[in-house]
A and B are shown apart, each in its own frame.
Chain A
Amino acid sequence: MIRKVTIAAQAALLASTGLVSAETLNWARAGDSLTLDPHAQNEGPTHALAHQIYEPLLIRDMTGQMVPALATEWGPNADDPNVWTFKLREGVTYHDGAAFDSEDVLFSLERAQSEDSDMKELLNSIKEVRAPDASTIEIETDGPNPILANNLTNLFIMDKGWAEANDVVKVQDFEGGEETFASRNANGTGPYKLTSRAPDSLTELEAFDGYWGKGEFPLEITKIKYTPIKNAATRVAALLSGEVDFIQDVPVQDLGRVDADENLKVIKAPQNRVIFFGLNLGDDDLTTDDVEGANPFADKRVRQAMNMAINREAIMKVVMRDQSIPAGVAMPPFVNGWTEALDTIPSNDIEAAKALVAEAGYGDGFTVTLHCPNDRYINDEAICQAAVGMMAQIGITVNLDAKPKAQHFPQINNLETDFYMLGWGVPTYDSEYIFNFLVHTKTENRGSWNGTRYSNPDIDAKIVSLASETDLAKRDATIAEIWAAVQDEILYLPIHHQVLNWGMSNKVETVVDPEDVPKFKYFTLN
């Protein structure tokens, strides 16, 4: 009897002490960082790890606000809007003790613009970077770029001396085939330094004693152990058993299970990602439909009807278990240009939708194929299955073709799909980013994700003008005009904004980062 009690007590103790010691945080998410080279991959989990070790000039805090990091002040020059001046923080050192100065910024920006860099698209407006003195950086752009700072929040600064000493001046490339020193080692100015790393298995970080932000941020976590756990059930089990304290990517069906545990909690917030359907409205004929010689999607009434037929409330309740926010516009709510009016969801009026389809001459219905990923977004395939039923209500027979993302996305890119699902996050928090990729005519440098075949020279000209419009009020007006056109054309059928769920031990206190990037220096412990 006594023994039983002891075991129970031990179990209770184990359960209550989620944290091994008061300061170690065991962190798990589905995937691992692909490389430690901060400019080699522009990808979520890779940036998430880099944000603990390296720092950009400015970052977004956990609420999405832009705040100073290695720069203390920034802004375009009053006399010349083509030049931005950044005042750098003084007294900052790297993990190896080297001092940070403007040479490093100069070097890092050049490195990030080089051919093998994955970050170069974000910097393509930069003409020249200058360092007038050790604590000042001037960036000259091709024309005025009012949102230059927004593009720098994931642009990490490396030590020039360290890069030269370790032969990693060039970004890791796939051509040469050699693994570089920078892809497995790191030397940043960030709050945590790397102590060990086994890719796809375990990465250990330790608080950096010489961090400039001591006293400014909580920095209560002193050690981080990061393990990717691919299988969702195992990830949740590891949290339930107390082996990890903090997980990202909690599957919606397990939210209740985690929340019900008295030592755990789930916190959520809207994610910077909207999910929507795209339609081929530009071609004369569709390849996947059964209508000969005509493109039903080219008729605005059909698109309108489809937009009305999608029952967003039902998708939220049944497919997403309330973990989504129905959307009326293909733009996350944080983004500059978003208004409540744009995001109003269309009424789900089946009769009116049917009438519109009949008016367009498709009263007898037609058949079309919907392409959908099955491993990219939360419940992506299930959403598409629901949409198949909803389209059937207005006489459109949809054949669902769900595939892994590695097969799905090339179809959009190669214009091989007429009806597809896509999700979009906006790292710059500005509408221009959406327009550049999703609305502009598909050309070599713009519109690369525009699978709709939509092409409107007027709109294209407006989109291009955004890049250099310094009068922000005028710029916002142009953004509103473009959105009005996109909504009027029903270029995309928005479904919902994804909701992020983080599961954690009760000991951990944080808010959810809208870009799914935990920045542990802001975390506090109870």
Chain B
Amino acid sequence: MISYIVKRALQSVLVLLAVGFVAFGMFRFIGDPIDNMLGQERTDADIERLREILGLNDPFLVQYWNFLKGALQGDMGVSFRQGRPALDIILDRLPATLELAMVSATFAMVVGIFLGIYTAINRKGPITNFILTTSLIGVSLPTFLIGILLIYLFAVELKWLPSFGRGDVVPVGDWWTTGLLTASGLKSLILPAITLGLYQMTLIMRLVRSEMSEVLRQDYIRFARARGLKERAINFRHAVKNTLIPVITVAGLQIGSIIAFSIITETVFQWPGVGLLFIDSVQFVDIPVMASYLMMISVMFVGINFIVDMAYLAIDPRLRGGKGGN
């Protein structure tokens, strides 16, 4: 069992190293940060001097090695764009992204499960058809279009909600800032949270609907009905509980993608999180920030997968054997 854990941990480290390797291999094709950094009055001598200072003349393996050496000591390099430590910038921006991700995940779970149950119980009817059709449209439209449509409707035409930004934020503790405690912060969250969570919501709704339809056909439900239990008790006490197990597994894994794929939503709504930071960094070719962001995302995914693996290990005794999993 310990060998299994060690093996998994080693695999995780290997994945992280590979992500960094691929990332540094790609950075060379994104472009050259020098012109962005020096402005139009630079001479060829300035360019050479700065390239040397930043180590851009080194082969990418050397650049990668230097980055790893720094990263192990907690130094992720200094942003080319802002001249601040990359880690500080990411930590500054992380609360905005995590807050948005949490709110949209909650929205996706609550609304998705509710609509899933509703459409499973009422298999036909105009409301069910409406929900299924709209959710299909919602999931087929690209995120940026949904965002722009919501902005147009609720910000430009109705003027109910703000079109951009995070509203007023208040500090909580040392580095966390929250928009959940101010009226403008809450209002600002609504549109981006819906935009970001819509896809996951549809996914969860459809999953719940099909799982629940399956469960409702099971023998024990039929027996319950034959015993004369109330519909409400059958649906909510027996059916839903058995439906939710796979749903929770999927939803947990989806949280990672919500954080990772918030890039587009953040760009459309000028949400000051790490996704927007990443886009700015790609355009500027801000290598330290790009590398730190990619490492952070891969640490997150690797971490989630590691925990899931460990959970399986706890649940499934077959994995605990000497041979380990494959």
A interface residues with partner B (beta carbon < 8 Å): 11, 14-15, 34-35, 37, 40-43, 118, 121-122, 172-175, 177-180, 183, 198-202, 227-231, 233-235, 237-238, 240-243, 375, 403-410, 413, 424-425, 437, 442-446, 448-449
Contacts and interface: CB of A to CB of B under 8 A. Distances in A.
5 contacts: A179-B88, A227-B164, A237-B151, A241-B159, A241-B163
Interface residues of B, number: 58
B82 to A, nearest CB: 6
Contacts of A444: 43-45
Contact of B164 (A175, A229, A408): A229
Given A11-B159, A200-B276, A407-B32, A35 B82 contact: yes
Contacts of A413: 35, 44, 47
Given A241-B159, A406-B36, A34 B43 contact: no
A14 B279 CA distance: 33
A405 B81 contact: no
Given A40-B83, A406-B32, A449 B40 contact: yes
B41 interface: yes
A175 B53 contact: yes
B158 interface: yes
A99 B289 CA distance: 40
A273 to B, nearest CB: 11
Contacts of A202: 165
Contact of B33 (A122, A235, A406, A425): A406
Given A34-B81, A201-B272, A448-B42, A406 B148 contact: no
Contact of B283 (A40, A121, A241, A406): A406
B267 interface: yes
Given A174-B53, A237-B156, A410 B43 contact: no
A132 B60 CA distance: 53
Interface string B148-175: 1001100110110011111000000000
Contacts of B24: none
A230 B280 contact: yes
B31 interface: yes
Q: Which 5 A-B pairs have the closest CB atoms?
A: A406-B31, A42-B39, A201-B272, A407-B31, A410-B32
Given A174-B37, A230-B267, A240 B156 contact: yes
B197 to A, nearest CB: 19
B78 interface: yes
Nearest to B84: A179
A447 B267 CA distance: 37
Given A118-B39, A407-B32, A442 B156 contact: no
B34 interface: yes
A15 B30 CA distance: 42
